[in-house]
């Protein structure tokens, strides 16, 4: 059921039979796993750094269809503004979970 | 036994009531009933984040306690200087030998940048200690910068974040410190 919906939706959109994580289905309350082709527990996400316009660091993850962003904090709870890159720049490889289909385009 | 059953039924009824009361927008009317159970992702610093995958959407936010302090499995604290070895009482001046040791530390560590925080014991006033700890942290940061290190922040927390009891002289000595956090 889910797969059919999924394939139909994606097939219509891109003319492709593959389906990474196109969840037209509705999930239950458990949001702790990635159920796509590269299915995995979310603890395995690979992050890079995105520097915000104030110069402070955030963890950035492109996991294919899902994107994640979360503040980098020091042990006192203050933002880490490391200067590792200029504002709005990213550092590191954070597209480990993305595939050819759902890499950059979405 | 009977009582437990009645209690259980009452609890279920209450839960159902709460859920139906909460289902006021379409966001609570799906299969998840508006409930989003997260898991934990640990960042490269060792600190936890709440993370959820809702099918096509992903969500993430830092896991902090109710005081705003991040929950971490390990820290990126990479050096704690015992103030007694670097500063005279009430002074923020570092001896030339101390400066040499510090410069060597920063050159060998070679992190992206550093956060330097000064701390004191609880003798003297809070305001005095805030000032003294900041001057000491700044003195350490100056040595770091002179040896080519990048400083992300310098702070003085005074006596407000003790790591040991101020009731003993050994505890007070432990509280007199400058902490160096290495950002990699």
What element of type H or E holds B176? none
How far CA A75 is from CA of B68, B106, B107, B120, B138, in Å, comes to 10, 20, 23, 18, 19
> How large is the angle between the packed helices B96-109 and B126-146, nearest 10 degrees?
60
- Find out whether B123 and B171 touch, Cβ atoms under 8 Å: no
pLDDT of residue B75: 74
Decide if A75 and B75 are in contact by the 8 Å CB cutoff: yes
pLDDT in tens, B122-133: 999 999 999 999
Question: Which residues, numbered 143 to 182 in chain B, qualify as contacts with chain A under a Cβ-Cβ cut-off of 8 Å?
Answer: 150, 152-153, 155, 157, 161, 181
Decide if A78 and B42 are in contact by the 8 Å CB cutoff: no
Taking the Cβ of residue B54 and every Cβ of chain A, the question of whether any pair is shorter than 8 Å is answered with yes
pLDDT band at residue A105 using 50, 70 and 90 as cut-offs: very low
Q: What is the mean pLDDT of chain B?
A: 87
Q: Is A56 helix (H, G, I), strand (E, B) or coil?
A: coil
Backbone phi, then psi, for B129, in 5-degree steps? -70, -35
Q: What is the pTM of this model?
A: 0.76
Taking the Cβ of residue B77 and every Cβ of chain A, the question of whether any pair is shorter than 8 Å is answered with yes
Residue B92 CA to residue B85 CA, distance in Å, equals 12
CA atoms within 13 A on the CB side of A78: 13
Decide if A75 and B57 are in contact by the 8 Å CB cutoff: no
More confident residue, B64 or A39: B64
Q: Which residues contact A98 (CB under 8 A, 6 or more apart)?
A: A62, A63, A64, A104
Q: Select the residue of B33, B54, B181 nearest A74 (Cβ to Cβ).
A: B181
pLDDT of residue A19: 43
Question: Residue B98 is encoded by which pair of tokens?
Answer: 């101390």
Distance of CA A5 to the CA centre of its chain: 22
Residue B92 CA to residue A39 CA, distance in Å, equals 55
Taking the Cβ of residue A86 and every Cβ of chain B, the question of whether any pair is shorter than 8 Å is answered with no
Task: Work out the minimum CA distance from B41 to partner chain A, whole angstroms.
Answer: 4
pLDDT of residue B102: 93
């Amino acid at each position: 059921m889910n797969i059919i919906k999924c394939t139909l939706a994606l097939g219509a959109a891109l003319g492709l039979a593959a389906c990474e994580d196109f969840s037209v289905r509705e999930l239950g309350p458990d949001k702790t796993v990635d159920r796509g082709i590269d299915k995995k527990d979310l603890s395995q996400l690979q992050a890079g750094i995105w520097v915000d316009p104030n110069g402070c660091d955030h963890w950035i993850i492109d996991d294919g269809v899902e994107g994640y962003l979360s503040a980098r904090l020091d042990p006192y709870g203050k933002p880490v503004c490391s200067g590792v890159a200029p504002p709005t720049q990213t550092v590191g490889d954070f597209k480990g979970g993305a595939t050819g289909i759902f890499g950059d385009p979405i | 036994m009977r009582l437990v059953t009645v209690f259980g039924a009452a609890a279920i009824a209450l839960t159902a009531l709460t859920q139906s009361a909460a289902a006021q927008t379409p966001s609570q009317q799906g299969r998840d009933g508006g409930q989003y159970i997260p898991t934990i992702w640990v960042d490269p610093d060792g600190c936890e984040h709440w993370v959820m995958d809702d099918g096509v959407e992903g969500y993430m936010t830092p896991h902090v306690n109710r005081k705003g302090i991040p929950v971490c499995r390990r820290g990126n604290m990479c050096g704690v200087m015992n103030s007694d070895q670097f500063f005279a009482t009430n002074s923020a001046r570092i001896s030339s030998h101390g400066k040499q040791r510090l410069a060597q530390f920063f050159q060998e560590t070679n992190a992206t940048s550093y956060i330097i925080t000064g701390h004191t014991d609880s003798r003297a006033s809070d305001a005095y200690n805030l000032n003294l700890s900041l001057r000491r942290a700044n003195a350490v940061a100056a040595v770091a910068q002179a040896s080519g290190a990048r400083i992300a922040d310098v702070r003085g927390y005074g006596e407000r974040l003790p790591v040991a009891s101020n009731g003993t002289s050994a505890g007070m000595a432990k509280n007199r410190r400058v902490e160096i956090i290495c950002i990699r």
